[in-house]
């Protein structure tokens, strides 16, 4: 059965159809939440909240073909709410390092640097980066997903990339200064 049919059935109150819709979309929605919130527990909370909201609002969905964008929008909004409520952004569990491999250590350092830069961004900026670069959505699709004007998407993307670049450059300067002083 196609997603559209399942969404229509779930909108009429079919619990089994909704369970199938969740199975089809939960991993994607969790990936969005995790990349915005940078914390597995918060991402799970956001996903749970989003799925409850999706179930509650599903009868009002006018176009079942737009379910994916609509569910992603709800997930992003739940992430925004949780991020503002929590006011914290946890680091993911550290990778299991292989100390004798310099390439691996450099990759971990780069990933850690990127993580620190990404945590400095607002949830709104993270959402635009995740939807555009991780999911590969066009700016118009991001605008539809977040229900914001395309110009706002472009602006947020511009400032997010600029802020991330500035954070990474600042981190590099700090690291260089620290290495010179030791």
117-131 pLDDT, tens digit per residue, is 788 888 899 999 989
Confidence class of residue 32 from pLDDT cuts 50, 70 and 90? Answer: very high
Average of per-residue pLDDT across 59-73: 93
At a CB cut-off of 8 Å and minimum separation 6, what does 78 contact? 33, 46, 47, 49, 50, 53
Distance of alpha carbon 55 from alpha carbon 65, whole angstroms = 16
Q: Which residues of the chain are in CATH 1.10.1740.10 domains?
A: 1-90
User: Is 46 within 8 Å of 37 (Cβ atoms)?
Assistant: yes
3-state secondary structure of 135: coil
End-to-end CA distance of the chain: 63
Distance of alpha carbon 152 from alpha carbon 176, whole angstroms = 36
Residue 24 φ/ψ, nearest 5 degrees: -75, -25
Q: Which residues of the chain are in CATH 1.10.10.10 domains?
A: 95-182
Tell me which of 3.40.50.300, 1.10.287.310, 1.10.1740.10, 1.10.10.1100 is the CATH number of domain 1-90.
1.10.1740.10
At a CB cut-off of 8 Å and minimum separation 6, what does 85 contact? none
Average of per-residue pLDDT across 51-65: 94
pLDDT computed for residue 168 by the predictor:
78
**H runs (alpha helix) in 38-149:** 40-57, 67-86, 102-119, 123-129, 139-146
Tell me which of 3.90.1280.10, 1.10.10.10, 3.40.50.11810, 3.30.43.10 is the CATH number of domain 95-182.
1.10.10.10
At a CB cut-off of 8 Å and minimum separation 6, what does 90 contact? 38, 39, 41, 42
pTM: 0.69
- Is 80 exceeded by the pLDDT of residue 114? no
User: Is 37 within 8 Å of 83 (Cβ atoms)?
Assistant: yes
């Amino acid at each position: 059965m196609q997603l559209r049919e399942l969404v229509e059935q779930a909108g009429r109150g079919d619990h089994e159809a909704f369970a199938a819709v969740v199975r089809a979309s939960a991993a994607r929605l969790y990936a969005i939440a995790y990349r915005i919130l940078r914390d597995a527990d918060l991402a799970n909370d956001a996903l749970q909240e989003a799925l409850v909201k999706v179930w509650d609002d599903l009868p009002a969905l006018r176009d079942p073909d737009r379910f994916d964008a609509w569910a992603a929008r709800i997930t992003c909004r739940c992430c925004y709410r949780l991020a503002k409520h929590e006011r914290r952004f946890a680091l993911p569990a550290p990778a299991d390092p292989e100390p004798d491999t310099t390439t691996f250590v450099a990759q971990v350092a780069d990933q850690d640097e990127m993580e620190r830069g990404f945590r400095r961004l607002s949830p709104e900026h993270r959402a635009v980066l995740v939807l555009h670069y991780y999911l590969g959505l066009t700016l118009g699709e991001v605008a539809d997903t977040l229900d914001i004007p395309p110009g706002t998407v472009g602006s947020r993307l511009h400032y997010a990339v600029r802020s991330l670049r500035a954070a990474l450059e600042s981190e590099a300067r700090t690291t260089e200064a620290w290495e010179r002083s030791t």
